[in-house]
Structure 1
Amino acid sequence: MNTQRAQEIAASPIMANVTYDGTQIYIQNVDENTGMARIYPLNQPENEQTVSVRNLIEQ
């Protein structure tokens, strides 16, 4: 996924089907300068992590 699309998904009120490493995730925010996104698995909101937007896949 590219940074622009990740930002669009993060800003949208509509839930998008996005996965990271095969797990459905929620994108909290995106840092355009670093290309990193703050995410968490839908079933584990306490398990936040920062990953490259390139590793996110929109289904």
Structure 2
Amino acid sequence: MDKVRAQEIVKSTAMINVNYHGIPVYIKSVQGGNETATVFPLDSMDHEQIVDLKGLEENQLF
């Protein structure tokens, strides 16, 4: 995922489905300088971690 889209998702009031290597996550913040984001799995909200933006993928619902 690119940095701009990740920032748009963070600012959005809608719940946008995002996965990190197949695991549903919530993006808490984006760190632009090193292309990372702070996320946590939806099923373990106390397990916050910093991940590479390249591993994030938006799920398109049809």
* Category of TM-score, reference length = shorter chain: over 0.9
- Name which one, 1 or 2, has greater alpha-carbon Rg: 2
Unaligned runs of 5+ in 1: none
TM-score (norm 1): 0.95
4+ runs deviating over 6 angstroms: none
How far apart are the structure 2 equivalents of 1:13 and 1:48? Answer: 20
Unaligned runs of 5+ in 2: none
User: Residue 26 in 1 paired to residue 36 in 2?
Assistant: no
In the alignment, which residue of structure 2 is the partner of 1:44? 44
| Residue identity (%) | 39
Encode CA deviations 1:2-52: one digit per residue, 9 max, x unaligned. Answer: 011001001111110100021110000001111100000011001110001
In the alignment, which residue of structure 2 is the partner of 1:57? 57
